[in-house]
Amino acid sequence: MEILDYDLVIIGSGIAGLRAALEAVRTLGTIRVAILTKVQATRSHSVCAEGGTAAVIRTDEGDSFESHVRDTIFGSDFLADQDAVELFVKSIPEEIYLLDRLGMPWSRRKNGTIDQRVFGGYSYPRTTYAADRIGFFLVQTLFSALQRFDNVEIFNEWYVTSLCIEDSRFVGLFAIDMKSGNLCGFRSKSCIAATGGAGNLYGFTTYSNSSTSDGLAMGYRVGLPLKDMEFIQFHPTALVPSGILISEAARGEGGILLNKNGERFMKRYAPLALELAPRDVVSRSIIKELNDDRGFDNPNGLNYVMLDITGIGAEKIKEKLPQIRELAINTLGIDPIDSMIPVRPAAHFTMGGIDSTIEGETGIKGLWVAGEAACVSIHGANRLGANSTAECLVYGKITGRNAAQHAISASLSKMSNEAVKSEEHRIFDSLMGGSGSENPYLLKKDLRAIMDNSAYVYRGGNQLAEAIRMIRSLQNRAYRHVEDKNREFNTNLTNVMEIDSMLQVGEVLLVSAYARTESRGAHFRVDNPYRDDKNWLKHTLAYKGESGPKLEYAPVRINRIKPEDRGY
């Protein structure tokens, strides 16, 4: 096996990974950085972000750090660690200005200053944006900035198979060059996992196909706890039937939600905030309307409500929501300038992730985690829109700086022969050389149906218990072989490993959700419909055990605002 040496290896080429690489070379100019991505670097899921990036940049016009902190904590249903929220809020404005200097095409006011729009759960319109293509432009800006550095090497279409840990220290990782099928080792002093979330566990989702829980499962397998995985955000407005995101920007610019009776039903559920209540509130409201037969019928079961942006006006739609218009025209043949858009909630964001400190450190020396793969925790039980791209930028910077500083004094460690031989055996003998009759793609379909049916917006204890039994049955049937024996671009092999990761993380999600007998943020139990601060104001930590996830709990760090009722 060929072994390649670097000072820092970053897994993932989304906003967090690219920002980490940029900060690493700004911190230590001579550092050798490798970015490994299983797609093309500019095709990561980050490009799908649409709405904006939240930041306090107008204190002279009434915004404040205190307001952003308070909004984020309330939005989290008080499960966020408040010291992490404060650090995050105070750090993001600098990122907005850095990107501006790097050429980010922010949407602007007539006077040339960066514009901001309204998003749900905020008490001030603090979402900076670039029309409705924020993710695309952030990735392009960061990627372009990295082209100036010869010491940053990007490995496109490389699939990371596992981490190599020796004596609780990161020493390297293994990855397959998908073009050739060769398995290589990457020795490194530091590593940042920026691998994204777990949304492809669901069938109806806004996630890209590449978001398959790989990094979460890699951390879980080497003993790191997955934190708060029961909290999956469902975005209220995904296009039916595709699941493509219809950004919260549409509601921020004046869009309204209507049921089949023509009622603006959010007046019933959030009379003050209406469509701009936090996402957990709006998603539950939509599903309540559908369950009460006030939605529009769909033959495939994806009943929906309507998002009406016609009142915004043609010119404003063309200027501020061009991608939403394009998506509706190209996928459904309707123009939202004069037609309503069919929507329902879809899996959109993972509030949980690999447990990390406020500095992005994991329990393994030399290994950091950033972006959606991490759980610091900033978002708690429910993320506010536009805080996700902001988190990727802030923690890309923090982990990039910390990993580079670690690399200054650390030395490369040997990847043991036992670890190399074990990984070669697992990939080429057990998977490529195995035999069996199970179709992995049908297993994936079954997994996603389980999650859609049992761990959606509303959940019940009996449903979750049955889902755990079913997912364990899938695990017992899976991963006996890879049908395609070719080495070059063997997506059958990588798909099988992805499904393995999805089943492991899906089990963690279900077990964590079953254990939490309360309703908080995005986790709503119909059999326990109230928040229970006495028993459940705590984080879930899921460790890999011999017979499944082993749950422990950790306190929420509260240093500013005591829990109280959320009212919108």
Give the amino acid at 444.
Answer: K
Which tens digit of pLDDT belongs to each residue from 58-106? Answer: 999 999 999 999 999 999 999 999 999 999 999 999 999 999 999 999 9
Query: 480 versus 98: which is more confidently predicted?
Result: 98
Q: How confident is the model over 123-154, as pLDDT tens digits?
A: 999 999 999 999 999 999 999 999 999 999 99
The span from the CA of 543 to the CA of 552, in Å, is 8
Nearest to 71 by CA among 46, 89, 93: 89
The answer to whether residues 11 and 160 touch, using CB atoms and an 8 Å cutoff, is yes
Query: Active-site residue among 19, 68, 235, 406?
Result: 235
Nearest-angstrom CA–CA distance, 356 and 391: 13
**pLDDT tops 80 at residue 435:** no
Q: If you write DSSP's letter for every residue of 168-232 in order, what string do you get?
A: TEEEEEEEEETTTTEEEEEEEEEEEE-----GGGSSSBSS-TT--SHHHHHHHHTTPPEESTT-E
Helix (H, G, I), strand (E, B) or coil at 517: coil
Task: Read off the pLDDT of each residue in 32-45 and give the average, rounded to a whole number.
Answer: 96
Do the bridges between strand 458-459 and strand 524-525 make them parallel or antiparallel, or are there none, so unpaired? parallel
Q: Given pLDDT bands bounded at 50, 70 and 90, which one contains residue 32?
A: very high
Q: Give per-residue pLDDT as tens, 187-218.
A: 999 999 999 999 999 999 999 999 999 999 99
Closest CA to 89 of 350, 376, 401: 376
Would you say 379 and 229 are in contact if contact means Cβ atoms under 8 Å apart? no
Mean pLDDT score, 366-380: 98
Say whether pLDDT at 249 is over 80: yes
Question: What distance in Å separates the CA atoms of residue 555 and residue 228, rounded to the nearest whole number?
Answer: 12
| pLDDT value of position 434 | 78
Q: What is the mean pLDDT of residues 247-268?
A: 97
Which residues have CB under 8 Å from 184's CB, separation 6+? Answer: 1, 2, 3, 4, 174, 175, 176, 177
516 is catalytic: no
Query: What helix, strand, coil percent values describe the chain, rounded to 5?
Result: 40, 20, 40
Sort strands 182-193 and 367-369 into parallel, antiparallel or unpaired: parallel
Residue 3 has pLDDT above 90, yes or no: yes
**Two structure tokens written together for 461:** 């204890």
pTM reported for the whole predicted model: 0.96
Query: 374-375 and 353-355: which strand pairing?
Result: parallel
Domain boundaries, the chain: 236-347, 417-555
What is the predicted pLDDT for the residue at 156? Answer: 98
% the chain with pLDDT above 70: 100
State the number of CA atoms in the 13 A half-sphere of 318 facing the CB: 4
pLDDT in tens, 311-362: 999 999 999 999 999 999 999 999 999 999 999 999 999 999 999 999 999 9
Partners of 205 in beta bridges? 347
Write down the pLDDT at residue 301: 85
Is residue 436 very low, low, confident or very high in pLDDT (cuts 50, 70, 90)? Answer: confident
Interval 259-308: pLDDT, tens: 999 999 999 999 999 999 999 999 999 999 999 999 999 878 899 999 99
What's the average model confidence in pLDDT over 455-470? 98
Q: How large is the average pLDDT for residues 554-562?
A: 96
Write down the catalytic residue from 32, 45, 251, 523: 251
Instruction: Give me the chain's average pLDDT, please.
Output: 96
- Mean pLDDT over 383-389 rounds to 97
The predicted structure's pLDDT at residue 442: 93
258 forms beta bridges with 306
Helix (H, G, I), strand (E, B) or coil at 523: strand
221-240, pLDDT tens digit by residue? 999 999 999 999 999 999 99
- Vertex 213: Cα angle to 207 and 216 (nearest 5): 135
**Which pLDDT value is given to residue 438?**
85
Residue 235 a catalytic site member: yes
Rounded CA gap, 121 and 387, in Å?
Answer: 11
Quick: pLDDT tens for 401-414: 999 999 998 999 98
- Domain 236-347 indexed as CATH 3.40.50.2000: no
Task: Please tell me the predicted confidence (pLDDT) of residue 157.
Answer: 97
Q: Per the structure block, which two tokens stand in for 63?
A: 């915004």
DSSP string covering 352-421, please?
-EEE--TTSB-SSBTEEE-GGGEE-SSSTTSPPTTHHHHHHHHHHHHHHHHHHHHHHH----PPPHHHHH
- 3-class DSSP state for residue 446? helix
The confidence score (pLDDT) of residue 437 equals: 81
Question: Of all residues in the chain, what percent carry a pLDDT higher than 90?
Answer: 95
CB 90 within 8 A of CB 560: no
At 469 the pLDDT is: 97
**pLDDT beyond 80 at 1:** yes
The answer to whether residue 433 scores a pLDDT higher than 90 is: no
Residue 137 C-alpha from the chain's centroid: 18
Sign of CA dihedral 190, 41, 164, 216: positive
Band (pLDDT 50/70/90 cuts) for residue 385 is very high
Q: Which fold has domain 417-555?
A: Methane Monooxygenase Hydroxylase; Chain G, domain 1 (1.20.58)
499 and 480 Cβ atoms separated by less than 8 Å: no
Tokens at 321, concatenated: 């929501």
